[in-house]
């Protein structure tokens, strides 16, 4: 009975600390192209995805395209900044990210620039690029062309900066109603395969390492409590008087430690996985799995040493809430301080 | 003998907990304070950046716009106030005044199509808008940091440590609503 109560408390605590971290907009699995407004064609999405992936592989710089149906009353500047920072666009150290955001209903476009690109892409330039390469198309509702054209312009600029070839994209200067076909050259490079055999193995190894490391950590922390537990079984006569009080204190302390420990882990430990990956969207899946294992271990250890230990029940409560991990972490990727420019079209 | 051991263990554990708690919350306060200072300097950087843009803006506009000395003077004055400001409150007020002065000028500019089409001016406009947005972001981050810090030093039990170590409340970067001026324009 007590154990059930105890576990319920723990569970509620964790639910609470998770629920504080869930963000409104989370990246799709493609990460680089997030067409929430559903206005981009398959080819456009593939074009953006392929180029962003190869750029990220070569330089760690990330260009992300997001379209939304509506900003729901928020202004595009702060919305873009939130998206930029919650997605963590760009490398965490270099902040070399670029976000192209289109708000469909408001007919607004914004280019948000990460800290690291402010020199390369000052606001004046992003404004001019929009005026020349993007807005003329958007005015005629030609979203695919406008976005591909603008994307290509920024892509070229960034490639120049990193001294890599960008001959596979061409940029159209201005809009012409007769020019119908899109600007991209269809020749694409081979995409590196990320989820082949080797990566599954990697996945397993990483998860294994984490769980082992974590269970050692957990043991280290809980060892004193195990000791105390044993001690008062043997020398009960002194402690019997205050039995309940002491046990309550121990339980509260344990809870505190657990919650503290968990928040630490979820906040920082797994972050380098995310930032080292060129596929953050997919990597966060792996992170979730690792978290699951960790929480599972933690709960298992707790059950083993909980007051009035032994017996069963409660183990199954260790499932169910893990899926809430993932989203809403901060500081994992590049950041922007609100640089960039906006246009109405 | 065994009783003695138990007492010693309990006392040491309690002591460790208390000392650990004090050290932990003191360090936490230091971190928060550091965060507030960093965010403040972020605002400063952006404000300075905007102040640097103003002379350029004034020169560009002067070439096209006659008989609007008032608006231009207002901007120049606001910029000087901003550079003179010595505390958070003054800085916030000067910043808000510069905001509305620039807004007023931009409304006037609507009447000068030549100026609006000038590439140099468009560039400046973008830089100004971008900087304004950066200031907004920096301001928000700063106020968030201040809120965290201020709440922490007022809460039990951290307030005891904050009092002893002399942590003072930080000022928000904001202007009294009543003092905000609506840009006036007469045509």
* CATH number reported for the structural domain that contains residue B54 in this entry: 1.20.1440.20
Residue A28 lies in a domain: no
Q: What is the predicted pLDDT for the residue at A47?
A: 92
Which strand (E) or helix (H) includes residue A66? strand A62-68
Give the pair of three-digit tokens for residue B3. Answer: 């009783």
User: Does A202 lie in the same domain as A125?
Assistant: no
The predicted-structure confidence for B123-143, as pLDDT tens digits, reads as follows: 898 899 888 888 988 999 999
Residue B187 lies in a domain: no
Contact B134 A342 (CB under 8 A): no
Which strand (E) or helix (H) includes residue B128? helix B119-154
User: Does A115 lie in the same domain as A211?
Assistant: no
The one-digit pLDDT tens for each residue of chain A (345 residues) are 566 666 666 665 555 444 444 345 778 888 899 998 889 999 999 999 999 999 999 898 999 999 998 888 888 998 999 899 888 898 888 889 999 999 999 999 999 999 889 888 988 889 989 988 999 999 988 999 999 999 999 999 999 899 888 877 878 776 655 444 444 433 333 333 333 444 566 666 666 666 666 666 666 666 666 666 666 666 655 556 666 666 666 666 666 666 655 554 554 444 434 443 333 443 444 455 555 555 666 666 665 555 543 333 333 333 333 333 333 333 457 778 778 888 888
User: Does A236 lie in the same domain as A313?
Assistant: yes
The reply to whether ipTM tops 0.90 is no
Residue B149 lies in a domain: yes
Residue B84 lies in a domain: yes
Give the pair of three-digit tokens for residue A232. Answer: 């008062």
User: Rounded to a whole number, what is the distance in Å from the CA of A338 to chain B's nearest CA?
Assistant: 5
Q: How many other CB atoms are found less than 10 A from the CB of residue A310?
A: 8
The predicted-structure confidence for B50-94, as pLDDT tens digits, reads as follows: 999 999 898 888 888 877 888 889 999 999 998 888 888 888 989
Q: Which of A84, A117, A124 to mutate to test the interface with B (most CBs of B within 10 A)?
A: A124
User: Does A199 lie in the same domain as A111?
Assistant: no
Range of the domain at B41: 32-169
User: Rounded to a whole number, what is the distance in Å from the CA of A230 to chain B's nearest CA?
Assistant: 13
User: Does A148 lie in the same domain as A267?
Assistant: no
Range of the domain at A268: 2-23+194-324
User: Does A293 lie in the same domain as A340?
Assistant: no
Phi/psi for A6 (5° steps) reads: -60, -45
User: Does A340 lie in the same domain as A219?
Assistant: no
Residue B2 lies in a domain: no
User: Does A316 lie in the same domain as A206?
Assistant: yes
Query: B79-87: long-range contacts at Cβ-Cβ below 8 A with a sequence spacing of 24 or more?
Result: B79/B51, B79/B54, B82/B47, B82/B51, B83/B51, B87/B171
Closest CA in chain A for residue B134: A338
Contact A170, A186 (CB under 8 A): no
Q: What is the predicted pLDDT for the residue at A314?
A: 34
Q: Is B76 exposed, middle or buried (0-12, 13-18, 19+ CB in 10 A)?
A: middle
Residue B42 lies in a domain: yes
The closest of A126, A36, A25, A29 to A83, measured between CA atoms, is A25
Q: What is the predicted pLDDT for the residue at A295?
A: 63
Check residue A23 and give left, alpha or beta (phi > 0: left; psi -120 to 50: alpha): beta
Residue A330 lies in a domain: no
Closest CA in chain A for residue B2: A235
Q: How many other CB atoms are found less than 10 A from the CB of residue B129?
A: 19
User: Rounded to a whole number, what is the distance in Å from the CA of B150 to chain A's nearest CA?
Assistant: 20
Domains: count for chain B: 1
Cβ contacts below 8 Å, chain A against chain B, sum to: 58
Residue B145 lies in a domain: yes
H-type alpha helices, chain A: 2-19, 42-59, 76-87, 123-129, 135-139, 143-161, 197-234, 236-239, 243-264, 271-276, 280-305
Residue A331 lies in a domain: no
pTM of the predicted protein model: 0.59
User: Does A227 lie in the same domain as A119?
Assistant: no
Q: What is the predicted pLDDT for the residue at A72?
A: 83
Contact A111, A77 (CB under 8 A): no
All residues of chain A having their beta carbon less than 8 Å from the beta carbon of residue B126 are 123-124, 126-128, 341
Q: Is B114 exposed, middle or buried (0-12, 13-18, 19+ CB in 10 A)?
A: exposed
> Which residues neighbour A37 within 8 Å (Cβ) at sequence distance 6 or greater?
A67, A68, A69, A102, A104
* CATH number reported for the structural domain that contains residue A100 in this entry: 3.10.310.50
Interface of B with A in 129-168 (CB under 8 A): 129-131, 133-134, 136-138, 140
All residues of chain B having their beta carbon less than 8 Å from the beta carbon of residue A128 are 119, 122-123, 126
User: Does A180 lie in the same domain as A260?
Assistant: no
Residue A329 lies in a domain: no
Contact B46, B134 (CB under 8 A): yes
Domains: count for chain A: 2
All residues of chain B having their beta carbon less than 8 Å from the beta carbon of residue A78 are 136-137, 140
User: Does A158 lie in the same domain as A84?
Assistant: yes
Q: Which of A77, A112, A123 to mutate to test the interface with B (most CBs of B within 10 A)?
A: A123
Contact A339, A123 (CB under 8 A): yes
């Amino acid at each position: 009975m007590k154990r059930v109560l105890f576990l319920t408390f723990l569970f509620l605590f964790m639910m609470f600390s998770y629920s504080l971290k869930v963000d409104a907009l989370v990246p799709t699995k493609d990460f680089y192209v997030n067409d929430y407004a559903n206005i981009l064609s398959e080819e456009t999405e593939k074009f953006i995805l392929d180029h962003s992936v190869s750029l990220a592989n070569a330089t760690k710089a990330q260009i992300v395209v997001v379209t939304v149906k509506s900003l729901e009353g928020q202004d595009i500047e702060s919305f873009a900044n939130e998206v930029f920072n919650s997605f963590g666009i760009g490398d965490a150290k270099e902040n070399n990210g670029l976000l192209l955001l289109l708000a469909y209903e408001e007919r607004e476009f914004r280019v948000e620039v990460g800290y690291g690109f402010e020199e390369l892409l000052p606001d004046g330039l992003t404004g001019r690029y929009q005026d020349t390469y993007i807005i003329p198309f958007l005015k005629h509702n030609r979203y695919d062309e406008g976005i591909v054209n603008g994307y290509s312009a920024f892509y070229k600029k960034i490639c120049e900066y990193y001294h890599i070839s960008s001959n596979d994209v061409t940029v159209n200067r201005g809009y012409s109603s007769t020019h119908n076909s899109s600007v991209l050259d269809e020749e694409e490079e081979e995409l590196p395969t990320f989820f082949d055999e080797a990566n599954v193995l990697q996945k397993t190894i990483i998860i294994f390492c984490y769980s082992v490391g974590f269970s050692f950590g957990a043991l280290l922390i809980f060892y004193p409590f195990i000791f105390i537990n044993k001690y008062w079984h043997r020398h009960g006569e002194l402690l019997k008087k205050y039995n309940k009080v002491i046990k309550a204190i121990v339980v509260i302390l344990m809870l505190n430690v657990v919650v503290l420990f968990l928040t630490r882990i979820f906040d920082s430990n797994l972050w380098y996985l995310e930032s080292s990956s060129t596929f953050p969207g997919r990597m966060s899946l792996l992170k979730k799995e690792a978290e699951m294992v960790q929480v599972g271990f933690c709960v298992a250890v707790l059950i083993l040493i909980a007051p009035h230990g032994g017996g069963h029940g409660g183990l199954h409560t260790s499932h169910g809430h893990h899926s809430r991990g993932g989203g809403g972490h901060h500081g994992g990727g590049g950041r922007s301080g609100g640089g960039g420019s906006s246009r109405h079209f | 003998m065994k009783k003695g051991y138990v007492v010693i263990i309990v006392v040491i554990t309690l002591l460790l907990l208390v000392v650990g708690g004090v050290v932990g919350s003191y360090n936490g306060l230091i971190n928060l304070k550091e965060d507030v200072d960093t965010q403040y300097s972020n605002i400063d950087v952006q404000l300075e950046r905007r102040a640097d843009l103003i002379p350029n803006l004034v020169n560009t506009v002067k070439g096209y716009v006659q008989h609007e000395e008032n608006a231009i003077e207002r901007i120049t004055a606001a910029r000087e106030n901003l550079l003179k400001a010595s505390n958070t409150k003054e800085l916030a007020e000067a910043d808000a005044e510069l905001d509305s002065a620039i807004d007023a000028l931009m409304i006037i500019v609507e009447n000068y199509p030549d100026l609006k089409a000038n590439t140099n001016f468009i560039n400046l406009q973008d830089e100004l808008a971008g900087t304004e947005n950066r200031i907004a972001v920096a301001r928000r981050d700063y106020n968030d940091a201040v809120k965290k810090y201020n709440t922490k030093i007022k809460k039990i039990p951290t307030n005891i440590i904050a009092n002893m170590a002399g942590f003072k409340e930080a000022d928000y970067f904001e202007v009294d609503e009543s003092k905000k001026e609506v840009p006036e324009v007469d045509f």
